[in-house]
Amino acid sequence: MIKDLTVNKNKNNVNGTFSIAGRKFFYKILRQRPFGYEVNGYKIIKKYYPVSNLVYHDSKTGLLLYEFDNSIGKNKGLVADLLGRKIKKSGKRSVKKILLLYKKVFLKTLKFKKSDSAKIFFHDRIKTRIEPYYQKRFMESLRGKELIFNNVHLQLDPVSTLKGIKDYFSKNKKIWCAISQCDPSELNIGLKPIIFDYLAGGYNPLMAEFATFIWYTLIQGNYLSLKYNRASYNNHGRVFSSMAKVKLQKNVLKHSVSKARKELISEYIKVVIKPVFHRIHDYNEWYYDFKHFFALRLLGVFNVRKMERKDQVLSFGYLEFFYNKINPKYPTDLINIINKL
């Protein structure tokens, strides 16, 4: 008999957990196309990263059944749980172990090639999300708006930015890639370590991985997802106690980024990204690639147009800041830039 069934419905799938005969499972139900991506991604990712055991999958129903990892529990086991409180030495050791795993895999699999794995999160979303979400009239209404964003003066130009994003993702150029699942959110990484969610598993652009990690750690994981996708944090409710503060008064916006999150970003850049760049030697256009992946991730998860006004301002402020305001020469420059936010 099935016991303790949970159901989480979101835009892309239905998932949850249940127990049967004393064993606990995580299930996911996907449409046919993403089902194939998930199975293929799982087969690739399991060669390089620790993963949950896929015990059953059925293409007709779109059902995937994974063994539930017992290291995950109420307010424990995920990077999200670690960032929800002051990080102790044991937590820092767990984070370092995770980052060294990424470093090892990235260095081992680094290639300059075309990539299709992450299209489901980027190229495909131009048609499925960006164009229907952000119509010209709405974007035009924001053009020229002035904003003081964490003490930085910005003048929004989302129309030009959106055009740049569409142009960039209309092509599929060769780019530096490594094996990843390209969705390194704090809900998809266990402290064990263990990696979850394999939809985009395969050779993915290094800058797609980097930009996604920065966006999730900086704002989505400690504010937007908590507000607009609360169900994903079932059994990990402690994270809400450390939810970021966002304040908007007229055209002045303040967003506080926690010390723990800034430290995680700094360590990720130093431990993972810096050694990979040392191996590449010459990647002068890295930030051009980074900012496009960052921008599409920012706009392509939630419909910013439907958010509360202060969250619209927050999102378009970050978009303007990363896409037009800054142009760091090296990835390590982002550490100082983010620490000043």
In the structure encoding, which two tokens stand for residue 227, read together?
């507000």
Rounded-to-integer distance, Cα 221 and Cα 229, Å: 10
Q: What is the pTM of this model?
A: 0.96
Q: Return the pLDDT at 210.
A: 99
Element (H, E) at 309: helix 309-320
Rounded-to-integer distance, Cα 159 and Cα 315, Å: 15
Q: Return the pLDDT at 1.
A: 78
Q: Return the pLDDT at 87.
A: 79
Rounded-to-integer distance, Cα 334 and Cα 144, Å: 26
* 246 Cβ contact partners less than 8 Å away, ≥ 6 residues apart: 223, 253, 254, 255, 310, 311, 314
Q: Return the pLDDT at 89.
A: 80
Q: Return the pLDDT at 3.
A: 87
Short-list 299, 295, 248, 297, CA closest to 138: 299
As averages over each run of 10 residues, the pLDDT of the chain (341 residues) reads 86 89 94 96 99 97 96 95 82 96 99 95 97 96 97 98 98 96 97 97 98 98 96 91 95 95 97 98 97 99 97 98 98 98 92
3-state secondary structure of 28: strand
Q: Return the pLDDT at 234.
A: 86
Q: Tell me, which fold does domain 1-68 have in CATH?
A: Phosphorylase Kinase; domain 1 (3.30.200)
Cα 319–320–324 angle (5° rounding)?
120
Q: Return the pLDDT at 108.
A: 99
* 335 Cβ contact partners less than 8 Å away, ≥ 6 residues apart: 265, 266, 269, 270
Q: Return the pLDDT at 307.
A: 98
Work out the number of other CB atoms within 10 angstroms of the CB of residue 269.
22
Unique residue bearing structure tokens 């704002």: 219
Of how many residues is the chain composed? 341
